[in-house]
Amino acid sequence: MIERLQELGKEALQEIKEADTVKALDNIRVKYLGKKGPITEVLRGMGKLSAEERPKVGQKANEIREEIQSSLEAKTTELEEIALEEKLKEESIDVTLPGKEIKRGARHPLTAVVEEIEDIFIGLGFQVTEGPEVETDYYNFEALNLPPDHPARDMQDSFYVTHDMLLRTQTSPVQARTMQKHHGQGPVKIVCPGKVYRRDDDDATHSHQFMQIEGLYVDKNVRMSDLKGTLEAFVKKYFGPERSIRLRPSFFPFTEPSVEVDVSCGICGGTGCRVCKNSGWIEVLGAGMVHPNVLEFSGFDSNEYSGFAFGMGVERFALLKYGIDDIRHFYTNDIRFLEQFKRA
Partner 1 sequence: MLVSYQWLKDYVDIDDLTVEETAEKLTRGGVEVDVLHPRSEGLEQVEVGYVEACEQHPNADKLNVCQVNTGEETAQIICGAPNVAAGQKVAVAKPGAVLPGGMKIKKTKLRGEPSEGMICSLQELGIEQKLVAKEFIDGIYVFPESAKVGEDAVEELGLRDTVLELDLTPNRADCLSMIGIAYEMAALLDREVHQPDCTFTAADQSAAEAVSVQVDVPEDNPYYGAKIIQDISIGPSPLWMQNRLTAAGIRPINNVVDITNYVLLEYGQPLHAFDFDRFGSNEVVVRRANEEETITTLDEEVRTLSAEHMVITNGKEPTALAGVMGGAFSEVQEDTTTILLEAAYFNSSRVRKASKDMGVRSESSTRFEKGVDSGRVEEASARAAHLLERYAGGTVLEGTVEDDFRSDEKRVIETEPEQLNKRLGMDLSQEDILSIFRRLQFTVETEGNRISVEVPTRRPDLRIEEDLAEEVARLYGYDYIPTTLPSGVTTPGSLSPEQNKRRKIRRYLEASGLHEAITYSLTSPEKASRFLLEEVPGTVMVSMPMSEERSTMRTSLIPHLLDTVQYNRNRQINDSSMFELGSVFIVESETLTQQPEEKKVLAAAVTGTWEIHLWQGEKKKTDFFVVKGILEGLFEELGVLDNIQFVPSSRKELHPGRSADIVLNGRSVGFTGQVHPSVEKEWDIKETYIFQLDLDAILAAETEELSYAVLPRYPSISRDIALVVDQNVPAGDVQRVIEEAGGPLLKQVTLFDVYEGENLEAGKKSLAFSLVYLDPERTLTDEEVTKTHDHVVSELTEKVQAVLRQ
**Subset of residues 144 to 183 that bind partner 1, contact rule: CB under 8 A:** 149, 151, 154-156, 159-162, 165, 167
Using rule CB under 8 A, residue 268 touches partner 1? no
**Does the protein bind partner 1 through residue 275 (CB under 8 A)?**
no
Task: Tell me the number of residues near partner 1 by CB under 8 A.
Answer: 86
Among 34, 45, 58, 123, binds partner 1 (CB under 8 A): 123
Please count the residues of the chain: 344
Q: How far is the CB of 146 from partner 1 (least distance, A)?
A: 11
92 vs 221, beta carbon nearer partner 1: 221
Q: What residues between 79 and 98 interact with partner 1 by CB under 8 A?
A: 97-98
For residue 323, the minimal CB distance to partner 1 (Å) is 19
Reference 12, options 191, 30, 265; nearest CA is 30
Count CB atoms within 10 A of the CB of residue 141: 27
Measured distance between the N- and C-terminal CA atoms of the chain, rounded to whole angstroms: 86
Label residues 268-298 b or e (16+ Cβ within 10 Å = b).
eebeeeeebeeebbbebbbbbbbbbebbebb
Which range in 22-30, 33-41, 76-84, 242-250 contacts partner 1 by CB under 8 A?
242-250
Of 136, 180, 182, 237, which one interacts with partner 1 (CB under 8 A)? 136
Identify residue 90 by its one-letter amino acid code.
E
Cα distance between residue 106 and residue 256, in whole Å: 41
Q: Between β-strands 188-197 and 127-128, what pairing exists: parallel, antiparallel or unpaired?
A: parallel
Residue 201 in contact with partner 1, rule: CB under 8 A: yes
Q: Which stretch binds partner 1 (CB under 8 A): 28-36, 73-81, 171-179, 257-265?
A: 257-265
